[in-house]
Amino acid sequence: MTLKELLVKHEGWKLKPYKCSAGKWTVGCGYNFSDNPLPEDIEKYLSITECITDEMADRLLDLSIGWAVADCHKLFPRFNKFSQKRQDALIDFLFNVGIRTAKKFVHTIAAINTGRWEDAADGFRNSAWFRQVNERGIEIASMIEDG
């Protein structure tokens, strides 16, 4: 499964705006436009049609992936050396929670940065986040552990 397929599986794909569980306006594949302004052309199109196109949702997904990857590099100095599966799991996690929340996973980050993958997976499994996201958490923890 590609990273985009994984994110669509976990986030969904909605062309009409909706409020996410945190009460933020969201569209496409989990793009939070309450906190992240939409590109001008997409905002204009949305204001006229009350939805976006698949191409626009894909552009927003690419933007969000770029931010999550940049955040991964901030938290995990050896990120590029991780297996693709672990990189995808961490991108998915950062995509979901953002860097401010991710930074609270201090012990999990330390385990990842020292290659203690089983401890890192357990860190995810023992978190409130894991209990909130159900299948996503199970899949991410497994990807981290199995590499």
pLDDT in tens, 37-90: 999 999 999 999 999 999 999 999 999 999 999 999 999 999 999 999 999 999
Share of the chain above pLDDT 90, in %: 97
Cβ contacts of 34 within 8 Å, gap of 6 or more? 24, 25, 26
CATH fold group of domain 3-146? Lysozyme (1.10.530)
User: Is residue 15 left, alpha or beta, with left meaning phi > 0 and alpha meaning psi from -120 to 50?
Assistant: alpha
